[in-house]
Amino acid sequence: MRLAVSLLVLLAIASVIGTVLNQQQPYEDYVLKFGSFWFAVFRDVGLYNVYRTNWYLAIVGFLVLSTSTCLIRNTPRMLREMREPDLAVGSGYDPRGMVNNTEMFSPLAIQSASNMVVAVMRGRGYRPKLHESNGGVVVTGRKGRYNRLGYILTHAAIIVFCAAALYNADIPVKLDMLTGAVRPENNFHIPLSEVSKKAWLSDNNPAYRGTVTVPEGQSTQVVYELVGNGYLVQPLPFRIMLKRFHVAYYSTGMPKDFISNIVLYNNEGKVLKEANVRVNHPLTYHGVQIFQASFVDGGSLLKMKRYMFNDPGAGAVDEQARVGQSIKLPGTTYMLKLKGFSLDNVVPADAIESRPGAAHKHINLGPSFTYIAQSTSASSAEFKTYMQPITRDGQSYFVQGVRTAFGTPYQYLFIPTGPNGSIGLFMKYLSALQKQAGMNSGESTKRYVLHTFKVVISKYAPSMTTEAEALYFQSAISAILQLKAYPVPFVVTLTGFDHRWAAGLEVTKWPATVVIYWGCAVLVLGIFILFYLPQRRMSVALRASNDGTEVIIGGASSRNPYEFTKEFEGFVTRLKSALQGQDDRKENNDG
């Protein structure tokens, strides 16, 4: 019992870890979360896939073996006791060896005394049995004989759901990996057609748990099961198509609900099932469950304009690509990789406005996209660009975050926008400054900077007020000073997009899950029987003497000894009254 409890405690601790810590995530996510040192420690222990680690399966397997041995050894005897209780007096019914015991003397003959004991026991709810023993008589009684059924049910339930957990752990796949018949693929960037055949699992795999990202309007017939720093491909018995995706947000910008409209097709294109999948509301089809796990951009088409800081007079260049693609920027040494797109960006108002309104604690900055600019010299930087300008102290700005090391905070560049909401006016001013600087022949910097600004404004924004001009000039000079630390010679703005969502789905096939549920129900029933149906035993030994009968009374209970002590005292009191010559008919009426 101590061994079983220890194993169950270990399994409980491991299960808590497996519940709190997201399982089977990419190793890069764990490195960012825990750091390189603790990532390696947790990886070696197997905390990233607890339920399929060798030590977890070994504990479960040993618990099944240990519990099965106990059940096989004890069940026949317990069933025999329940069917034919107390056919013989064993040491367990020796009244002197019981926890509660006492002795008394009765003037009645042994036959009459034994009859009175039988009557009192029956009146107290026990099933009395008479046994000849060493020239005397022993009357034994027991109630709660089905208490042993609780033992059988609890142990059987532990065996059932532990064996089911082993089945769900897909041990055949682990054995195939040990023998080399199955080997995970480590390259996450190759198309499905180029994945090694050894990384493909069988269509008839009895249990699996994989994830897949499906863009709107597209479909898939496989899921990917992460194994360490690689993955295995699990074919599905149907094709999953994401018809539509919808996400709703709280006022703080956190997702409130996200729903995937999914259609399942067979190989002939026939619709098998259509349903909406949301968090905690999976779609189930023939034992396979599809859960809503996450959502990301599904390859939105982005329309952009690129401005060159080293040639601002050249005008904007139109660019277009989908999220996830990389494009070469003509006339530069840079490659642009579109990393992600976000339709909404809700931030605290005080992070943007110097004097936020009390009624608006959060501001939606609108769409944004992230991209990585990498040159042929291997230098790179990551950018986060917002489509809509933001307003601070009366001036609107184009905002772009930039960082040269992954994981570090963004440093933000604020470029003032003109009356048309673009940075075109700023680029014209920058171009004019560069030309004037080349032609400057001794004129003070402050003078020609201001003069150039006046010329640009009068030509391209003549309707600006004097106050707006002053504010724009200060903002433009601040932006120009920021450009000294800017890592690339261009800036990219977002002018339009064709948005597409992608749903992150988790697909599981755990056929033994129903067995686990029934095993838990049986476990609860068994524990209920053990706690609320205790086995209680009474034993009364009678031996004839010259003047009457010597009586030894004993009793024991499997639970609640304090409560049983009070019951035993009441039994003894009743028995003393009966054995002191009370009317037999009164005692028999108790039964």
pLDDT band at 363 (very low <50, low <70, confident <90, very high): confident
pLDDT per residue over 420-445, tens digit each? Answer: 889 999 999 999 888 877 665 555 56
CB-hemisphere CA count at 13 Å for 46?
Answer: 10
| pLDDT at residue 180 greater than cutoff 50 | yes
R_g of the chain computed on alpha carbons: 40
Number of Cβ within 10 Å of residue 165's Cβ equals 24
Residues 423 and 391 in one domain: yes
Structure tokens that stand for 468 in this block: 């707006």
* Range in 75-89, 206-220, 311-325, 493-507 with the lowest mean pLDDT: 75-89
Q: Which CATH number do you get for residue 197?
A: 2.60.98
350 and 473 assigned to the same domain:
yes
Residue type, 386: Y
Specify whether the CB–CB gap between 287 and 500 falls below 8 A: no
Same domain, yes or no: 158 and 14: yes
Is position 517 within any domain? no
pLDDT bucket at 326, cuts 50 / 70 / 90: very high
- Nearest Cα residue to 427 out of 307, 535, 326: 307
Whether 189 and 99 map to the same domain: the answer is no
139 shares its domain with 192:
no
Q: Is pLDDT above 50 for 511?
A: yes
SS3 of residue 577 by DSSP:
helix
Give the three-state DSSP class for 323: coil
Instruction: State the pLDDT at residue 368.
Output: 93
Same-domain check for residues 368 and 403: yes
> Is residue 417 within 8 Å of residue 387, measured between CB atoms?
no
Structure-block tokens of residue 169: 């752990």
Q: What is the extent of the structural domain holding 387?
A: 305-497
Q: Which of 337-351, 370-384, 431-445, 463-477 has the lowest mean pLDDT?
A: 431-445
Q: Report, as an integer, the average pLDDT of 348-374.
A: 72
Q: Please indicate, yes or no, if residue 587 is contained in any of the structural domains.
A: no
- DSSP sequence for 171-209: HHHHHHHHHTSS--B--TTS-GGGS-GGGBPPTT-S-EE
The mean pLDDT of the chain is 86
Residue 337 is predicted with a pLDDT of: 93
- pLDDT (mean) for 337-359: 71
* Residue of 590 and 531 predicted with greater confidence: 531
Q: Are residues 16 and 1 in the same domain?
A: yes
- As a whole number of angstroms, the distance between CA 196 and CA 201 comes to 11
More confident position, 14 or 275: 275
More confident residue, 576 or 512: 576
pLDDT digits (tens, 9 = 90+) for 494-504: 999 999 999 99
Pair (380, 312) in one structural domain: yes
Residues 97 and 418: their CA atoms lie apart, in Å, by: 99
198-201 long-range contacts, Cβ below 8 Å, gap at least 24? 199/230, 199/231, 199/232, 199/233, 200/232, 200/233, 200/235, 201/173, 201/225, 201/232, 201/233, 201/234, 201/235
Q: What are the DSSP E strand ranges found in 32-135?
A: 100-106, 129-133
Q: How confident is the model at residue 552 (pLDDT cuts 50, 70, 90)?
A: very high
pTM of the complete model: 0.66
What residues contact residue 164 under an 8 Å CB cut-off, 6+ apart? 512, 513, 515, 516, 519
The pLDDT tens digits of the residues spanning 274-291 come to 999 998 899 999 989 999
The percentage of residues in the chain with a pLDDT greater than 70, rounded to a whole number, is 92
Look up residue 243 and give its two tokens.
């018809």
- Predicted confidence (pLDDT) at residue 273 exceeds the cutoff of 50: yes
Are 486 and 554 part of one and the same domain?
no
CB atoms within 10 A of CB 561: 13
pLDDT at 173: 82
* Tens of pLDDT, residues 117-140: 999 999 998 888 888 877 789 998
511: Cβ–Cβ under 8 A, 6 or more apart, which residues? 167, 168, 206, 207, 287
Which pLDDT score, from 0 to 100, does residue 439 have?
Answer: 66
Answer yes or no: do 352 and 279 share one domain.
no
Average pLDDT over residues 543-568: 90
Is residue 517 within 8 A of residue 524, CB to CB? The reply is: no
561 band by pLDDT with thresholds 50, 70 and 90 = confident
Domain harbouring 111, CATH code? 3.30.160.110
Examine residue 523 and state whether it is found in any structural domain, yes or no: no
| 490 shares its domain with 556 | no
Domain-embedded: residue 189: yes
Following DSSP, what letter does each residue of 463-484 receive, concatenated? Answer: T--HHHHHHHHHHHHHHHHHGG
The answer on pLDDT for 591 being more than 60 is no
What is the average pLDDT across 150-175?
A: 83
Q: Is residue 85 part of a domain?
A: no
Assess if residue 519 is contained within a domain. no
pLDDT of residue 359: 56
pLDDT exceeds cutoff 70 at 587:
no
Question: Do 192 and 245 share a domain, yes or no?
Answer: yes
- pLDDT higher than threshold 90 for residue 405: no
Total domains in the fold of the chain: 4
Least confident of 51-60, 435-444, 482-491: 435-444
The three-point CA angle 582-588-591 to 5° equals: 135
Confirm whether 176 is domain-assigned: no
- The answer to whether residue 518 sits within a structural domain is no
**Residue 590's pLDDT band (cuts 50, 70, 90):** very low
How big is the CA angle at 390 (ends 385 and 394), to the nearest 5 degrees?
Answer: 150
- Do β-strands 390-392 and 395-403 pair in parallel, antiparallel, or remain unpaired? antiparallel
